């Protein structure tokens, strides 16, 4: 009995806190995420054909989940098996070093090839201010001079840009104000594919 009351009180408290301070709205369901992934993969194939001179670079940390999902579709449905992929961490290239309240934590960079004269596609889950992509543009130069660089983003917060950067492949455009946050959950990491708009 006491346990049930305790459980109810915790539930009531959580509901109260979330309604008072935070609310989250589902922007995309698992089915919609899957449809968008299929479309993005299809658009990549349309532009890059057999990917013989193309490399896909996931931006750490959360672009990697998207990269893996796209790679899975490209391999299974388009039989592109020798796809070159890499992981790029931009921590040391960010423009808010010593300006951010939180210390910047680096992630692993794994690019086992030179990108000289290659067609590079950056892959990230949310395009917000454009500063991460600006850093990635600098970071990739350490691995050579690419022929061209494209950007694929799953969510484009289109009215929040600080820099003149636009995606070439776009999952869904979202109009969110600065106080809101867009969170993309992947089933490999969070257990389900779902996109939330979180308001504080």
Number of other residues whose CB lies within 10 A of the CB of residue 103: 6
Establish if 189 lies at the interface with other proteins (CB under 8 A).
no
What share of residues in the chain are helix, strand, coil (percent, to 5)? Answer: 40, 30, 35
Nearer Cβ to other proteins, position 141 or 189?
Answer: 141
One residue of 16, 92, 159, 192 binding other proteins per CB under 8 A: 92
**Residue 127: C-alpha distances to residues 15, 21, 36, 81, 170 (Å):** 31, 25, 16, 28, 9
Rounded least distance, CB 91 to other proteins, Å: 8
Cβ 132 vs Cβ 68: under 8 Å: no
On the CB side of 134, CA atoms within 13 Å amount to 12
Shortest distance, CB of residue 44 to other proteins, whole angstroms?
26
**Dihedral sign, Cα of residue 133, residue 135, residue 137, residue 143:** negative
Which stretch, 40-48, 51-59, 85-93, 173-181, contacts other proteins (CB under 8 A)? Answer: 85-93
Stretch that binds other proteins, among 40-48, 74-82, 87-95, 149-157 (CB under 8 A): 87-95
93, 122, 128, 154: which one binds other proteins (CB under 8 A) = 93
Position 14 contacts other proteins (CB under 8 A): no
Site for other proteins, residues 132 to 161, rule: CB under 8 A: 138-139, 141-144
Contact 122, 138 (CB under 8 A): no
Site for other proteins in 97-136 (CB under 8 A): 97-99, 102-109, 114
Cross-strand pairs, 157: 174
Interface residue list for other proteins (CB under 8 A): 89, 91-93, 97-99, 102-109, 114, 138-139, 141-144
């Amino acid at each position: 009995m006491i346990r049930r009351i305790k459980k109810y009180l915790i539930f009531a408290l959580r509901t109260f806190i979330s309604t008072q301070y935070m609310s989250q709205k589902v922007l995309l369901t698992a089915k919609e995420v899957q449809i968008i992934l299929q479309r993005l993969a299809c658009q990549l194939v349309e532009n890059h054909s057999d990917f013989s001179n193309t490399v896909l670079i996931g931006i750490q940390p959360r672009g990697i989940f998207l990269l893996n999902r796209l790679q899975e579709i490209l391999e299974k449905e388009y039989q592109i098996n020798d796809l070159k992929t890499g992981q790029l961490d931009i921590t040391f290239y960010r423009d808010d070093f010593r300006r951010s309240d939180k210390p910047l934590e680096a992630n692993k960079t794994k690019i086992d090839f030179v990108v000289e004269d290659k067609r590079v596609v950056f892959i990230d889950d949310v395009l917000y201010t454009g500063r991460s992509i600006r850093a990635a543009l600098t970071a990739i130069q350490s691995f050579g001079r690419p022929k061209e660089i494209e950007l694929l983003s799953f969510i484009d917060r289109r009215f929040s840009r600080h820099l003149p950067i636009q995606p070439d492949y776009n999952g869904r455009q979202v109009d969110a104000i600065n106080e809101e946050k867009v969170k993309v959950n992947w089933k490999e990491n969070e257990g389900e594919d779902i996109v939330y708009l979180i308001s504080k």
